[in-house]
Amino acid sequence: MSILFSQELPIYTALVLLVPLYYLYSRVRCRSGNPALVLPTNWPILHMFPSFLANIHNLHKYLTLVLAGSGHNFRAHGPPGTGLRFFVTCDPTNVRHIFTTNYTNFPKGAEFADIFDIVGGSLLTIDGEPSREQRAKVKGALSNPWMAATMASCCCDKDMLPMDAAVALDTFMEVGFSLLMTPSSCWKLMRWLNIGPERKLKVARIVLLEFAAEMMERRKMNPCFVGNEDEQEDGDILSSFLNDPDYADDDLLRAMIIAYMFAARDTVGTTVTWIFYNLAQNPNIVSNIRKELSPIASRKAAVGVDAMSIFEPEETRSLVYLKAVLYETLRLYPAAPLECKTVIADDIMPSGHEVHAGDTIIISIHSMGRMEGVWGEDCLHYKPDRWLSVGGNNMRYVPSHKFLAFNSGPRMCLGKDIAIMQMKTVIASTLWNLDVEVMEGQTIQPKQACIQQMKNVLIVKLKKREM
């Protein structure tokens, strides 16, 4: 034993000395933006863990550079015994295989459900038959006319989430993101000891569960929301589940409330923020949007509508160019920048890479939108026209495995149409009535979290538009 230890001691000593230096070196190389310089180093024992650790503060950019330099796919391992075995991809053919062709082999997985246990039992964490049943229930609720009317009215709703609940949501998004890259033994120990990020999660969990419980009680006390669905004049998804005896478990209902807050509140708000940021850099695109809105505004003015025109969802439904603007923003700034899957059985990807049972697959949606091999040499340019067919009258077909902003296959986003409706209504009403100027001197970069919010708030100046 002493001989073995003496033989390994120089290796451990070298690692202790070299890894901190490499940490600094790797961060500098990432700033160069050259894919050839950022490929992760495979260290003895630690493998690629130092490379990821050095760039966790800017992971989306780092993955984009590495994927660009490695043919859209690469494997990464952490130290032995940590369970960190990743296959990272942004290859559309692999995405189609993972999300559609062989999707049953790539569920969210038990570790994902453990990290986000606060939404356990909701669509965010379940797979298989439970997922299909719950999706059918949500799809049925979203198809009801009263639901569409409620969602439309939300575009003009001034109510905001309480500050403590909003902060708790952000905490879960940021901490949960980092835990996905952390050995499970580490974060489980922190959870048991109630230290580090897990201490923050515990506080956030209490706040969110209390908020969800209060929301449930308000719905149960309001006869307008509980009863015969055919008699409801207004409602929401929660109300439809409260009326279903199959969902009588309060713990499950609280988890579902929080899950829909994750899925709806942050994704729409985040995308709208990125839209305004990009439009401020491209005034010609703003002019094109207003040109598309002009006939609708003229019809509203002819029937005596006030100068401050609030466009209704039905009026914006047919706006093709505005939809192209939304899609172009989501291509470069997807609300959910990463998707994680677990491998059930050994498989071979269409790219030729082998994956093994227990591996974690990371699909970098952020990187996919920035690959020349996927979107062409102008992939980093903000060009809504790329989404338009010849003549510009219709949207060009792009398969979901190439544009993954709304997921793909059996897990396609159920709220896609409603989210598009809400964003189009807000953007149209804002741009027609106001000039939006992004104030100078701001540092604009994405937050490293499950939802790609801006790291800092976007400060804008609003001015009533001169017609």
Q: Are 42 and 50 in contact (CB under 8 A)?
A: no
**Torsion, CA 239, CA 142, CA 245, CA 258, rounded to 10:** -60
List of residues 6+ apart from 246 with CB closer than 8 A: none
Output phi, psi for 401, to 5 deg.
Answer: -75, -10
Residues 6+ apart with CB under 8 A from 409: 99, 100, 103, 400
What is the C-alpha to C-alpha distance for residues 141 and 244, in angstroms, rounded to an integer? Answer: 12
CB 371 within 8 A of CB 379: yes
**Rounded-to-integer distance, Cα 259 and Cα 48, Å:** 33
Q: Are 376 and 71 in contact (CB under 8 A)?
A: no
Which helix (H) or strand (E) segment holds residue 104: the answer is: none
* Contact by Cβ (8 Å): 139, 370: no
Which residues, including other chains, have CB under 8 Å from residue 156's CB and lie 6 or more apart?
310
413 is in an annotated binding site: yes
CA distances for 405 relative to 322, 336, 365, 464, angstroms: 17, 7, 7, 33
Place of tokens 């003009």: 156
**What size, in residues, is the chain?**
467
Q: How many CA atoms lie within 13 A of 259 on its CB side?
A: 23
Backbone dihedral angles phi then psi of residue 193, each to the nearest 5 degrees? -85, -10
- Region at 235 (left for phi over 0; alpha for psi -120 to 50; beta for the rest): left
Q: Are 410 and 434 in contact (CB under 8 A)?
A: no
CA distances to 282, 307, 308, 433, 435 from 467, rounded to whole Å, are 20, 9, 11, 8, 11
Reduced to 3 states (helix: H, G, I; strand: E, B; else coil), residue 118 is: helix
Position of tokens 């609280």? 254
Sign of CA dihedral 129, 130, 135, 138: positive
For residues 188 and 6, give the distance between their C-alpha atoms in angstroms, rounded to a whole number: 33
Q: What six digits make up the tokens of 23?
A: 């940490």
Structure tokens belonging to residue 144 = 């009801």
Binding residues for heme: 413
Binding residues: 413
